[in-house]
Amino acid sequence: MATQAHSLSYAGCNFLRQRLVLSTLSGRPVKIRKIRARDDNPGLRDFEASFIRLLDKITNGSRIEINQTGTTLYYQPGLLYGGSVEHDCSVLRSIGYYLESLLCLAPFMKHPLRIVLRGVTNDQVDPSVDVLRATALPLLKQFGIDGESFELKIVRRGMPPGGGGEVFFSCPVRKVLKPIQLTDPGKIKRIRGMAYSVRVSPQMANRIVDSARSILNKFIPDIYIYTDHMKGVNSGKSPGFGLSLVAETTNGTFLSAELASNPQGQGTAVLPEDLGRNCARLLLEEIYRGGCVDSTNQSLALLLMTLGQQDVSKVLLGPLSPYTIEFLRHLKSFFQIMFKIETRPCGEELKGGDKVLMTCVGIGFSNLSKTLK
């Protein structure tokens, strides 16, 4: 961990997770002021408070101070401890909101992390657990984070607004990360998907599959979309359905897209046929954006490149999302690292949208809290 460095100060509620995760990894305290100060309901929301509680559970010796109105947060990170943890996530956001940050922190624990998260598994805002399992886990394997204990399992599904889902995630610890060279995404060779339905007719999932295939069959024959209909206690507390699609390339790159139905009692009812077709179009758009990492996992890839050994890492990305651009600014302020950014216009060898080649030299981050065997 870094020595007791001067604390960083931010204003506003945006990018709270980024700031707290980077603070934990760099060991630099962070102070965030004016969190929704002018709002009718000022301060931290329940899901953000739940995220801070989760950080407190997986670290040892963190100091967290929140003022009475919840508009100011001071966070002094402790050591990443890990071990077996259970956490009830807020149903306002999905488990993916919490899991995205855990994926960044899990390899650097003292003890391998084994965590049970309860709440909403699929919603319309955050990446679902299905997509993270299909795209983020293979990405972590590229960096050398792999082993028998590396798994992400959906025990129960839970749809908003009731939740009731349960997810198990376990990850081994690593002392150092491998540098990566992901510059050639390759061509799409197969598409896999998962159409799920809970507390509605099982036929819904089949209707989603048929409509998604009606679009994707024009491009590639190797398509298989699994249907997952959970019953009884495993189906959570609210009805809903949805689809996640993942395209795999010849070089082992995964690009994903997903859609979920509107929560019960909110908005108009969505037809499963429309949802299937729209999700297929979203996947085609993601493939057009291209790159070696899909837009959901751009920031995860850049973080792991930053924390790698003192060696050059390269990755080819599609257009950078606004979230990723802000993440690069945060990486600069927490780790003083700058990426070399080269634009690659689409031409003969690069199909689809314009690409960006990101290059950096890792800071040689070493997991000091890992116990020596």
Q: What is the mean pLDDT of residues 129-152?
A: 95
Domain that holds residue 238: 188-289
pLDDT tens string 168-193: 999 999 999 999 999 999 999 999 99
In a domain, residue 302? The reply is no
pLDDT of residue 344: 87
Q: How many domains does the chain have?
A: 2
In a domain, residue 23? The reply is yes
pLDDT of residue 6: 80
In a domain, residue 231? The reply is yes
| Domain CATH for 274 | 3.30.360.20
pLDDT of residue 371: 60
pLDDT of residue 3: 46
pLDDT tens string 284-308: 999 999 999 999 999 999 999 999 9
pLDDT of residue 346: 77
| Domain CATH for 55 | 3.30.110
Q: Which of 30, 52, 78 is the last residue of a domain?
A: 78
pLDDT of residue 4: 53
pLDDT tens string 260-274: 999 998 989 999 999
pLDDT of residue 328: 98
In a domain, residue 244? The reply is yes
Residue 2 pLDDT grade (very low, low, confident, very high; cuts 50, 70, 90): very low
372 vs 138, which has greater pLDDT? 138
pLDDT of residue 1: 42
Q: Which of 55, 78, 101 is the last residue of a domain?
A: 78
In a domain, residue 205? The reply is yes
Residue 225: which of 235, 238, 237, 216 has the closest Cα?
216
pLDDT at 248 over 50: yes
pLDDT tens string 45-90: 999 999 999 999 999 999 999 999 999 999 999 999 999 999 999 9
pLDDT of residue 348: 62
In a domain, residue 341? The reply is no
pLDDT tens string 105-118: 999 999 999 999 99
In a domain, residue 49? The reply is yes
Average pLDDT value for the chain:
94
Q: What is the 3-state secondary structure (H, E, C) of 135-148?
A: HHHHHHHHCCCCCC
In a domain, residue 73? The reply is yes
User: CB–CB of 300/358 below 8 Å?
Assistant: no
Q: Which of 14, 43, 78 is the last residue of a domain?
A: 78
pLDDT tens string 218-231: 999 999 999 999 99
